[in-house]
Structure 1
Amino acid sequence: MSDQKIKLFSFFSGSGFLDLGFEKAGFQIELVNEYQPNFMAAYKYAREKMNIKPPKYGYYNIDINEFLQQRKEELKTNLDDAKRDGSLVGFIGGPPCPDFSVAGKNKGRDGINGKLSLNYVELIVNMKPDFFLFENVKGLWRTARHREYFEELKKILYAAGYIMTERLTNAIEYGAPQDRDRILLFGIQEDVLAELENRDISVFPWNKYQKYKVDEVKKMQWPEMEEFHANVETQCPQAVPEELTVEHWFRKNDVENHPNAQDYFTPRAGLVRMQTIEEGDVSKKSYKRLHRWRYSPTVAYGNNEVHLHPYKERRLSAAEAMALQTLPKDFELPADMSLTDKFKTIGNGVPFLLANGIAKTIDDFLRG
C-alpha cells in the first residue's frame, strides 16, 4: 500500500497539536471533534494561519457520545465514504486525562473525564476504523487501580478484533525540551494486518524516530540552580545537547516577536516572591523557575502550577509555552482567546515532535 492514502478522524482534538504532527507526516485529517468551543476555534484559527485545508467531513463541536447515539449513522456514512477509494482510515485521540493524573483529580474510571476513555473505546468498537491511536497520561498505565481499567479497555478492543501494541513514551526521546511521559496504545484490525505483507505488531518500530534515551539524558551533567539575575546572558554548557534546552526553543521560535509574545499572566501580588526563586528551581509545587540550559518539567499549568521565565521577572508567555511544546513557529493562538484557555489548551496538547515521530512510525509500519 505504498501509494495508498491514509486518512484520520480526530477526537478530543483540542487545538490540534497531535493532529498537526500527523498532518506534517503526510496523513489527511478528514474529521475533527472537540467539545470545547474555544479550543475548536483555536484549531481553526491556527490552521487558517498555516494554510492547512479544513477537514473534508467538517468540524464537530459536540460531545463524543453524540457519535454513539444520534450522530452514529452520520459518522458511519463519513467513515464508509473515506474508505471508498481504498484508503486506510484511522481514529486518533487522547481523552481528557485529569482523572488519571496523580497531580489531577485522580478519580479514575468514575470521573467524568475518566469515562471518556471508555466512550472513545466504544466508538472504535462500533465504527471499526482500520487502526487507532489512544493517547493518555502515564497514570493510566502506572497507577495500579487505573492500570486495571486500562487493561479492561484493551480487552474490549481485543474482543472487537484489534491487535495492539503500547509504550510509555517521553517527549524527550523525540528531541522535545520537556520531561513528559505519555502512554500510547496503537491498534490495528486483525484482518487489515493480515492484508499487509510481512507486518508483525510485536516488532512495531517504536524506537525508529527517537533521538535520545530518557535515562541517558537525565544522567547528563545539567547545570544546577543558579541565583536569579534578570536579563543576564549565559552560555550553554558543552556537556549537554542544546536542542533539549528551554533557551534553544525560545530562540528557534523567536518567541520575543511571536504574535502570542505578550500573552502571560501578570500577578497582582507576588512579584517579590517571584524574584527570590533561583533559575532552575523546579522543586516547588507552584512557582517553578525554568533553567534556560535545561529541559522543562511537563508543560502543564493546572492545579496552581506556575512556571517562571528563566531570566525575566514574569511568568512564561503563551509563545514560550508553545515553543516548549515544539510547535512550528508559525503556529499561533487567536488574540481574543482568554489567557486561561490559551494555557489550558497548550498544557493539554501533545508535544509536536512526539506527535510527528509517532505519526511517521505508524506511517512506516502501515506502508512497510
Structure 2
Amino acid sequence: MHNLSHISLFSGAMGLDLGLEQAGFITQVLVELDPIARRTIQHNLKRLGRTAAIFEDVTQVTAEMLLEAVGLRVGEVALISGGPPCQPFSTAGRRAAIQDPRGSLFRDFVRLIEGVRPRFFVMENVRGLLSAAIRHRPIKERGKGAPPYAPDELPGSAFQVILAEFDRLGYSYVYGLLNAADYGVPQVRERVIIIGSRDHEPIALPQPTHHKDGLRLPRWRTVREAWDGLEDPSPEYPPYPESRLRFLRLVPEGGNWRDLPPELWPEAMGGAFTSGGGKVGFYRRLAWDKPAPTVTTSPAQKATDMCHPSELRPISVREAARLQGFPDDWLFCGSMADRYRQIGNAVPVGLGKAIGESILATMLGVSQTAVRQGRLFEFELAGKPSP
C-alpha cells in the first residue's frame, strides 16, 4: 500500500488540502497561525469524524514535531504542501519580497522540507512571485537617468533565491503559472505552482482538463454551472450603499465601470479615475456564461467588486465558496468579512486535486489521465510497495 501521508503548511481554510485529499492524499498534520482559520479547520475535521494534529506558528514548529505527530520517520512522509503568505509578492502594494518578514516564511517551508525529507513537495503562490525582486526599487527611482539595477533589484531575483534553496536540498522540481480555469474551476485564477521530487522522479505539472475555447477538451466551466443546484435561500453579503447602486444599475452582465456612460466616469470612479492600472474590478458584474474572475477577499469593496450577474448585490459567502470548489457543507468560522477572506485566500479545490493527481500519477507510474479516470488506481495502490 502506498504511503499517501500529507503535511499541510499555511493551511488556511484547507482549499489545497481538500483538493489533494480528493486525489487520494491523507492530511495528517496542519499548520495555521490565524485563529479563525484554525477554528474553521477544527470544526470541519470534527464534522467529518477526522483527527489531525494542528499547530500554530510555523516559525516555532520543528521537523521533529511534525514527524512525531504523523507517526513517521525522516524520509517517510509522502508530501508537504504550502503557500507562504503572498502579500510581499503581490503586484499590489510595496512588493518588499523576501525582505518582508512574511516573505521570509518561505525559508521555514524550506527548513521543514529539509528536516522531514518528504518524497514530494508542493509550493504555491501568486503570479507576482515570478517577477518579484529581492530588493524593490520604487517606481520614482526608475527610468531615464536612474542607475542600473543591482542584481538583487532585478525582476525575478527573489524567485531565483527560492529555486536555489530547493537546489541546495537536492530536490528536482518543475514550476509554472497555472490557471485554475484550465482544471475545471469556474474561475480565472492564476497561481505559481512548484512541484518537487526528492528522488528525481519524472514529475510534471498537471495537464489541463478544460480549455477556454473547448479545443479537444471541455470548455471552461461557468458561473452558471458553478451555482447550479446551490441552495442559498438567505444569502449572506454586505449590501451596497445607494451611492454604488446608482452606478451598478447601469452596468450590464459581464461589464464594469467602462460600460457606464463616459460622462459618469469621473464621478463614479472618484480619485481612482486618474490613477494608473486597469481598474477592472471597479463596478464589476459577473457574467453567467463565463468563469468568474479571481474570487477576492472583499467582493463588495469598490476596487474588487464581484456583483451578482443579475441581482444588485455582491456574490454571497456561499456563492464565493462554490466558485472556489468548497463543498456546500464546509463551514467557515468568524464574521462575514472573515469568511470572505478565508474563501478568497484559498487555493481552488479543483486546482489542488489536479496537482495531487499529477503527483499520484508519478507515484504509480501511470498517466495523469489514468489517475483522473480511476483506472488501475486500486490495483496499483494495493500492488506496489510503499516508498
- Measure the CA separation in 2 of the matches of 1:107 and 1:310: 36
Give the deviation of 1:281 after TM superposition: 1.2
Count of aligned pairs: 318
- Which secondary structure does the structure 2 equivalent of 1:277 belong to? coil
Instruction: Give the TM-score normalised by structure 2.
Output: 0.75
- Measure the CA separation in 2 of the matches of 1:341 and 1:146: 33
**Alignment of 1:298 onto 2:280:** no
Give the deviation of 1:66 after TM superposition: 0.3
The one-letter amino acid paired with 1:150 is F
Instruction: Give the TM-score normalised by structure 1.
Output: 0.79
- Measure the CA separation in 1 of the matches of 2:296 and 2:58: 24
Which of the pair has more CA radius of gyration? 2
Aligned to 2:42: 44
Determine if contact 1:299/1:321 at 8 Å carries over to the other structure. Answer: yes
- Which secondary structure does the structure 2 equivalent of 1:288 belong to? coil
Determine if contact 2:13/2:342 at 8 Å carries over to the other structure. Answer: yes
Aligned to 2:176: 167
- Measure the CA separation in 2 of the matches of 1:323 and 1:73: 37
**Alignment of 1:266 onto 2:239:** yes
Aligned to 2:123: 134
**Are residues 164 and 249 of structure 1, via their aligned partners in 2, closer, same or farther at CA, if it must alter by over 3 Å?**
same
Determine if contact 1:6/1:87 at 8 Å carries over to the other structure. Answer: no
- Which secondary structure does the structure 2 equivalent of 1:8 belong to? strand
- Measure the CA separation in 2 of the matches of 1:146 and 1:367: 38
Farther-moved stretch of structure 1 (104-113 vs 347-356) = 104-113
The one-letter amino acid paired with 1:75 is L
Q: Deviations over 1:252-303 (max 9, x none)?
A: 4x1424xxx5221123443223322221014633331101111111111357
Give the deviation of 1:316 after TM superposition: 0.7
Determine if contact 1:7/1:82 at 8 Å carries over to the other structure. Answer: no
Aligned to 2:263: none
Determine if contact 2:132/2:159 at 8 Å carries over to the other structure. Answer: no
Determine if contact 1:100/1:146 at 8 Å carries over to the other structure. Answer: no
Determine if contact 1:243/1:249 at 8 Å carries over to the other structure. Answer: no
> Alignment RMSD, CA only?
2.5
Q: How many percent of aligned residue pairs carry the same amino acid?
A: 28
- Which secondary structure does the structure 2 equivalent of 1:287 belong to? coil
**Are residues 251 and 181 of structure 1, via their aligned partners in 2, closer, same or farther at CA, if it must alter by over 3 Å?**
same
**Alignment of 1:97 onto 2:86:** yes
- Which secondary structure does the structure 1 equivalent of 2:30 belong to? strand
What are the equivalent positions in structure 2 for 1:204-215 lying under 5 Å apart? 204=204, 206-208=205-207, 210-213=208-211
Give the deviation of 1:19 after TM superposition: 0.5
What are the equivalent positions in structure 2 for 1:11-90 lying under 5 Å apart? 11-49=9-47, 51-55=48-52, 58-60=53-55, 62-68=56-62, 73-78=64-69, 81-83=71-73, 87-90=76-79
The one-letter amino acid paired with 2:54 is Y
Give the deviation of 1:159 after TM superposition: 1.3
**Are residues 43 and 146 of structure 1, via their aligned partners in 2, closer, same or farther at CA, if it must alter by over 3 Å?**
farther
Q: Deviations over 1:144-176 (max 9, x none)?
A: 646211111111221112111112111011011
Determine if contact 2:86/2:103 at 8 Å carries over to the other structure. Answer: yes
Q: Deviations over 1:28-52 (max 9, x none)?
A: 1110111100011112223334x25
Give the deviation of 1:242 after TM superposition: 7.1
Q: Deviations over 1:96-117 (max 9, x none)?
A: 1021111344221122321222
**Are residues 291 and 98 of structure 1, via their aligned partners in 2, closer, same or farther at CA, if it must alter by over 3 Å?**
same
Aligned to 1:200: 202
